[in-house]
Amino acid sequence: MKTIFRASLLSALVGIAGLAAATTTMAAEVKWPTRPVQVVVIANPGGDTDFNARTMAKYFNQITGKSMVVTNIAGGGGTLAAEQVKGAAADGNTILFTHPGQLIVNEVAGLTEDSYETFDVSCIAGVDKSTVFVASKQSGVTSMQDLIDKSKAKPGSITYGTEMGSFSHVQGLMLEKLTDIKLKMVDGGTVSDRVVGMLGGRLDLGAITYGSVQDYVSGGQMVALGQPNDERNPLLGDVPTLKEQGLDITMDKPYVVAFPKGTDPAIVKKMADVMKQITEIPEYAEDLKKFKQPVAYYGTDEAKQILAKTREDFMQFKDELRKAKK
């Protein structure tokens, strides 16, 4: 395979300088938090995004002595939550907890003119490395190479379930482009809807968090084709990476902590410092295992560079995403 797509964190981290000592000093001296901090989450309760936000909040209280009040505002692909934080006072007391599905895909798909630059990005608090490409038993697909062979023999014969114009849609588009195949993209709804659709034989393929399909993979109703990570996430058992199968595709989903534009840089930096401390707590790592997620953290400058590279990668799918959202 000659074409390489790497919407991954490691590929984005090139030439990042260390943070200035003056900024570190300001962060240490700033009096924040002084009261509970509202964390606006772009997703409903119970999913991976919400889990990461609430786990962060749990240990934030342990370190700072102040609580985080988690507020879930789903809808509009995350635009409703983003609008609330965008319009909030830039006093450090309101945070957006989000991911590229809202920060970047919505911009690329034409749902909003806002981007990650609309906010003051503090850090990447975690990275979802639990997604696997999985096929239903009814599809007859037994491996990634089998998927490629079947799709090339009969383009459009494999149905890929997704939320059109979403992060999982981009994952499918990247797979198509890399492997030079054509999938039949179908709006399959939420993760739960897609799992049901695959079990019922309506959908053949999906990019879904392993925790949502592990029992079905173990039971033989589904086949895990590969994980789109640079290296194997050991929490996913023996599921091979796509790279191991000759497909150089990696696609992580980082969880981003951001403030309204104009927030004191010292507060933005202090939040990043607190998050780094959280990732060093052993109990935090144990909590993340519930969602098959290893510990990951990237500071402010790193996070901005990662998001810029991710947007660049996603822009090649602008036409497909905008068509899907019409």
What pLDDT score was predicted for residue 258?
98
CATH number (domain holding residue 91)? 3.40.190.150
- Count structural domains, the chain: 2
Query: 76: burial class by Cβ within 10 Å (0-12, 13-18, 19+)?
Result: middle
**Domain identity same for 122 and 164:** no
Give yes or no for a contact between 305 and 16, defined as CB atoms under 8 angstroms apart.
yes
Query: 238: burial class by Cβ within 10 Å (0-12, 13-18, 19+)?
Result: exposed
Is pLDDT at 19 greater than 50 in this prediction? no
**Domain identity same for 118 and 144:** no
**Domain identity same for 51 and 121:** yes
**Domain identity same for 118 and 162:** no
**Domain identity same for 316 and 171:** no
**Domain identity same for 303 and 162:** no
**Rounded mean pLDDT of the chain?**
90
What pLDDT score was predicted for residue 110?
87
* Boundaries of domain holding 264: 16-128+254-324
**Domain identity same for 201 and 302:** no
Is pLDDT at 25 greater than 80 in this prediction? no
**Domain identity same for 135 and 245:** yes
Round to whole Å and give the CA distance between 271 and 81: 20
What pLDDT score was predicted for residue 14?
46
**Domain identity same for 85 and 173:** no
2 inside domain: no
Q: What digits encode the pLDDT tens for the residues 46-88?
A: 889 999 999 999 999 999 999 999 999 998 888 999 999 999 9
Domain finish residue from 251, 276, 297: 251
* pTM for the whole structure: 0.86
CATH number (domain holding residue 153)? 3.40.190.10
Closest CA to 291 of 212, 223, 224, 193: 212
